[in-house]
Structure 1
Amino acid sequence: MDVQGTVAAGYEPLRDAFAENFARRGERGAAVAVYRDGHQVAHLWAGTRDVDGDAPWQAGTAQIVRSATKGVAAAVPLLLHQRGLVDLDAPVGTYWPEYKAAGKERTLVRHLLSHRAGVPVLDTPLTPEQALDPAAGADAVAAQAPAWEPGTEHGYHAQTYSWLIGELVRRVTGRGIGDWLAEEVAGPLGLDLWIGLPDAERHRVGRVGEVEAPAAATPGLRVRPKKSVADAYHDPGSLTRRAFGVIDPPVDENDPAYRAAQLPATAGIATARGLARFYASLIGGLDGGRRLFAPATLTLARTEESAGPDRVLISPTRFGLGYMLHGAASPLLAPGSFGHPGRGGSLAFADPESGIAFGYVTNGLQRNITADPRAQALVRAVAGVIGG
């Protein structure tokens, strides 16, 4: 495989691992970028722009990153808190009065970010048209009775996170979360990432699709609960199936209308470099500039809020405020790392102690929830380079 891009001296093992993903782990088209202490040390890409095509991946090729979007979106309420506009310990109804319904009166803002709100499912799934309508999604989660008492347990809000976080931001700022991100973060920092893809950027985005991983790829680090996520996904009564089936029938992720929607749970579009630069900006001065998260905000992002058995993902998971934390379900670089994977492949995170910020995107979406073998091979390579 002809790998394009550059790595700094000492980071050659990352190039080797990236090439091996194409040779052994079923990669079709992908990119990886790494920053350290705010400066780029690696940016690599290879393969095809489209999972089902032959046009080459370019340096600026972007892809949908599914739930890696959640980590980008989480920065918005945290930055609003940092500016004194959101109280994390206030009831959600303080900002969104309609949310005080069906037993959710005591739901706190921090419960939305830590997957403790109890509304990972909807009694009546949304149609794709309703899902793309911010008002329809917000009305649905506001009316929904929780599956558990908010704050008492946690379970991954795979899709409802879109309307929970999106509507909170809208009520506080008067803007869609993607608009706020573009105007306050991505635009000023020159980041190639979007929650709500502009028409002018559509030409840069490749087609994604589900692909089978070769048998040689399966030993990667993955969730292995007693009852697998796959089994629970197909159990008609399970929260897993219902949480991932909130939109019925499923949306077409290559549909321009879906990509243009401001859905902060699943529909973000990014380059690997855009994701790495975003996380670099959270923890340090990107290219020598200021960092976005004040020390107290950074602590909030990566302090454990939820841990143990996940009502939706079955296996134990760990969350801070809006971010997955390093653990068996989602191995990152080190115990202090925080970020978010996307189902099927993508991964982005930061590790403040080492100064590493990491972004990986792919168009070949494999059948995993977290701990994609390709992403994990790259993380291991980075760990080896920095002595982790």
Structure 2
Amino acid sequence: MYRISELALKVGLSRSTLLYYEKLGLISSRRQANGYRAYSEHDLQQLKLLQQLQAGGLTLKECQACLDTRIDRSLLLERLQALEQEIAEKQQSRDLLAAMLGKASMRGWHQALESQAPGAHLAWLLKQGFNEKQALRLKWLSRDMNEHDHYMADFERIFDGLDRLGPGSAEDTLEALSALPVVPQNLLDIGCGRGLSTLLLATHTQGLVTALDNDEYSLARLREAVTTNALDHCVRLLCASMTELPFERSSFDAVWAEGSAYIMGFGNALKSWRRFIKPEGFLVVSDLIWFTDQPHPEASSFWQKNYPDMTTLESRVSGINSLGYQVLHSFPLSLHAWENYLAPLREKIAELSVEGFSSKALTDIKDEIDIHDRFLDDYGYQFFILQKNSA
């Protein structure tokens, strides 16, 4: 027999809790001659069983029911499912905290936030100490911010000396330009990079082209090309953010953006840039789209991770119409444009060894090239020649 103080010590419960359990009938005492309560070994075992049931997530009332009758399997199954959900949520919280401390990858978190709240994602990255160029590249590549410095250094090393950071060709750029009803005389080239399209636009419009990018190195390369081609009088270079354009409303006859809108999010870019286009002016933009409703699962998985906003032509056109533009013309980027990008890149990476890189940049580029080589029938860039609605 155990006195209440002895029983409380053995099961790790307070005296008041034991008295409450006795009131519920879970245990029962016998009064001794001296008036003290005494509990049996049965009460001790009953309490240990009760504690095990509570450890399974059952309420006291549910524990009592299990002690009094046969186990309610449906009740236990419900508690098991709730517990598994709670564990999954706590594991997710633990993974995020570990990632933010640099103990695990944040890539999945970046991808999810970029898909759900791209504006908040950018603002948060800026608060973490990244400059605007670094933050946009983090968003663009959806990489781990804890590995960002190494990754971007390796990324720039891979593309050093190459003219293109993405697919493109003079023929496609000029086809898009010729689709405009009028030749723009004041044009903004957003995300101009190293300026291959900028030079073509300046040469064939004979107007003023403002070339904007946030990469000073790329702009320096473009500045040399502008001088070499004697185009200083018609090209203005500006290092600035595509997210906060430093211009007055209705400043340009046309805005040009080859392969850069998705850095902001395609819809966000079109909405943001619209105010800088003159009434009934033009926007020429290219974007990755699916050419099929049933892409190969491997291609679908790759782009779901790297560009979750990617959609079909029909869906993209519908979105464009809802943002205050009409589609004047649309055409897919040529395979020649892809080879202009991929052939030099293949040659460059053939000279490089994975062992010489401190990040996964080279491996990621090789994986992307492999996806392009096998599945370009399923997707590609689409040029959209748009006119701003007057309303």
> Larger RCO: Structure 1 or Structure 2 (Cα < 8 Å, ≥ 6 residues apart)?
1
Larger Rg: 2
Which protein has the bigger helix share? 2
Shorter-chain-normalised TM-score: which range? under 0.3
